[in-house]
Structure 1
Amino acid sequence: MRKIIAALNLTIDGFCDHTAGIPDAEMHQHYTDLLNQAHVILYGRTTFELMQFWQAYIEKPSGEKAMDEFAKAIDTIHKIVFSTTLKNVDWESASLANQPIEQVVSELKQQSGGPILIGSRSLIVQLTNLNLIDEYQLCIHPVVIGTGLPLFDKIQERTVFKLLKAKPFASGAVIHYYKQL
């Protein structure tokens, strides 16, 4: 069975914002490695549209090795997008989900291959409520933004986690690896 990993960036005050973090070469390398090990990443519409930013680096590399390698990794990995408003996706390695998330995840989990990444807040909440996530990799950035979307705002019941390990970065960000008990 394949492992389902929820990977997301958060601020110290607990808000999800892919643009509020402190990305550097070390952070980009970490996520490049994660993407290269995985088989597929699942996105909601909003995060998918944010990640399309990286397509420009495929067409015109930045010259910064870590960013360009991350762009290649995000471009290459298969992306499944869950959306009720998108009718198509304009990214060769992406497709729209045509079944409910629990069905897609259950089918993917039975296949062979690398981990299944969950990269959107809304999908993490849905899969947490279904107890389908094997590992959470929550990267806490040393930034306070004061407002935004909290990660676990729609959890149906009290959920307890066990810390597996932590990985600090020179920037002050720390990835906390958890499993749901």
Structure 2
Amino acid sequence: MGKIVFSALASVDGYTVDANGNFDWAAPDPEVHAFVNDEERRVGTYLYGRRMYETMRVWQTMPEGPDAPPEITDYADIWRSADKIVYSSTLTDAATPRTRILNRFDPDAVRELAAASDRDVSVGGPTLAVEAFRAGLVEQVQLFLTPVAVGGGTPALPRNLFVPLQLLEERRFTGGTVFLRYRVG
């Protein structure tokens, strides 16, 4: 049975994008990226809203070859080999293989998916995560806190929702990024 996991790169003040919609400040260095890749190998299915899917689908065509950084090539392979479910009322066709478009988020179907899977299910993006947290689906939270405060934007974790977390793991990286893994509950 797979776990339902929410993972995010965020500023130390808790935002995934800044007030202008930028997230270039969150780009992981090679050490962090390699660690992210090892975490993502556990994922069999990514759940996305439309905007996060449109951001992530670049991994389908990410350049490969001897000049590409190995952590980039590795992540592209991981992403391509996983299934994707995109919840959107505006998209009708998937732009990538192994992708299904559904018009609404169904918590019961997500529970069934995780229960039937031997790999984890990843909730991608803070907007979809709000729905997953409200439905009580998220079992684990993984935060990669980047050493920058952006002062506002899209919060990584839901506002106006109490989410008790139990720290399971922490790790500090050379560049100042901190990884935190929590169990929900």
TM-score (norm 2): 0.87
Root-mean-square deviation (CA, aligned residues, Å) is 2.0
Aligned ranges 1:88-167 → 2 under 5 Å: 88-97=93-102, 100-155=105-160, 157-167=161-171
Report the CA distance between 1:98 and its aligned residue.
Answer: 5.0
- The amino acid of 1:3's aligned partner reads K
- Residues 85, 76 of structure 1: alpha-carbon distance in 2 compared, 3 angstrom cutoff: same
Equivalences for residues 46-85 of structure 1 within 5 A: 46-58=51-63, 62-85=67-90
Deviation of 1:52 (Å): 1.8
Distance 1:75 1:6 in 2: 19
Counterpart code for 1:9: L
Which is worse superposed, 55-64 or 17-26?
55-64
| Structure 1 runs not aligned, ≥5 long | none
Deviates more, 1:138-147 or 1:53-62: 53-62
Indicate the percent of aligned positions where both proteins have the same amino acid: 27
User: What count of residue pairs does the alignment treat as equivalent?
Assistant: 180
Q: Does 1:10 align with 2:10?
A: yes
Q: Offset of 1:14 from its aligned partner?
A: 1.2
Query: Which residue number in structure 1 is paired with residue 175 of structure 2?
Result: 171
TM-score (norm 1): 0.89
Change (3 A) 1:103 1:179: same
Question: What amino acid maps onto 2:48 in structure 1?
Answer: Y
Cα distance in 2 between the residues matched to 1:152 and 1:35:
20
CA distance in 1, matches of 2:105, 2:133: 15
- Structure 1, residues 54-93: CA drift from partner, whole Å, max 9, x if none? 2332567752111111111112211111111111111012
2:37 is matched with which residue?
32
- Asked if structure 2 preserves the Cα contact closer than 8 Å seen for 1:36 and 1:77, the reply is no
Per-residue deviation at 1:104? 2.5
Q: Give the conservation status (yes or no) of the 8 Å contact 1:121–1:151.
A: yes
SS at match of 2:25: coil
How many angstroms apart in 2 are the aligned matches of 1:47 and 1:60? 26
Amino acid at match of 1:110: A
